Amino acid sequence: MRLKDKITVITGAGSGIGKTTALLFASEGAKVIVNDLSEPNGQATVKEIDQSGGEALFIQADVTNPESVKAMVERIIEKYDRIDVLFNNAGISGVGALHELELDVWERVMKVNVNGVFLPSKYIVPHMIEKKCGSIINMSSCIAEIGLAKRAVYSATKGAVLALTKSMQVDYAAYGIRVNALLPGTILTPFVENYLKTAYDDPEKALEGIKKRQLSGELGRPIDVAYAALYLASDESKFMMGSPLYIDGGATFG
């Protein structure tokens, strides 16, 4: 059991990578706080964990809303008195070249993908400082390092998350807190299915193009990213600090 009794918080755990990671963490002995905006999806994750004999608690909270995040953290501390792992995973897409984007779209994607890392971290870090340990995993993307068409705001958010990860690591290293980033390539989840439908007239053809961009020739699976999150959450990665971890089938270096 690599996360036995660790109190782990996963934002956006009602779907895709977050959900798969919640199931994996629970199977490794973690007590998982499943956060999401969607109550039915979050509860479905908890139900699957319950059915497999794990322990999980759903807390509905909007990661862009300070009051909502604060209330979530207070509830967790009241119940468990500590938080060992925070996986800042919740995120949304945004399609368009910069000049095509309306300000409200820009601000919405910035809010979820960047404020959505800031706020849970802001309210959880003081509890990690108090216990002098913790692992924070921030969801960036390989798009933080490579230019892709019509992903202006999404790229900007994921670049910000990567830079923030390094800055956080410097600030919190002295308190025994590690902060690392995940940089996935294209992983087949509802997020990507929606993106393909919104961005392309021919989603099937676009999908083939994306597969070719990855040296693997295939899309990644949520479990590929979940295994990387498990590594960063566990003490096995204790010498990793402020690092980007690529799970991209070679997309960044291909």
**Which residues are the active-site residues?**
154
Closest C-alpha to 28, from 56, 47, 67, 62:
56
* Position among 49, 59, 62, 95 found at the interface with ligand NAD (CB under 6 A): 62
* Interaction residues for ligand NAD, span 198-227 (CB under 6 A): none
Both tokens assigned to 194 = 């929606």
Question: Is 45 a residue that touches ligand NAD (CB under 6 A)?
Answer: no
CB of 142 to ligand NAD, least distance (A): 7
Query: Is 35:63 a contact under the CB 8 Å cutoff?
Result: yes
DSSP code string of 4-58: TT-EEEETTTTSHHHHHHHHHHHHTT-EEEEEES-HHHHHHHHHHHHHTT-EEEE
Start-to-end C-alpha separation, the chain:
35
CB of 89 to ligand NAD, least distance (A): 5
CB of 146 to ligand NAD, least distance (A): 12
Q: Which is nearer to ligand NAD, 129 or 216 (CB)?
A: 216
CB of 182 to ligand NAD, least distance (A): 7
* Interaction residues for ligand NAD, span 23-42 (CB under 6 A): 35-38, 41
Cα-based distances in Å from 12 to 59, 109, 210, 231: 10, 14, 24, 19
The residues that touch ligand NAD, with contacts defined as CB under 6 A, are 11-12, 14-18, 35-38, 41, 62-64, 89-92, 112, 116, 139, 141, 184, 186-187, 189-192
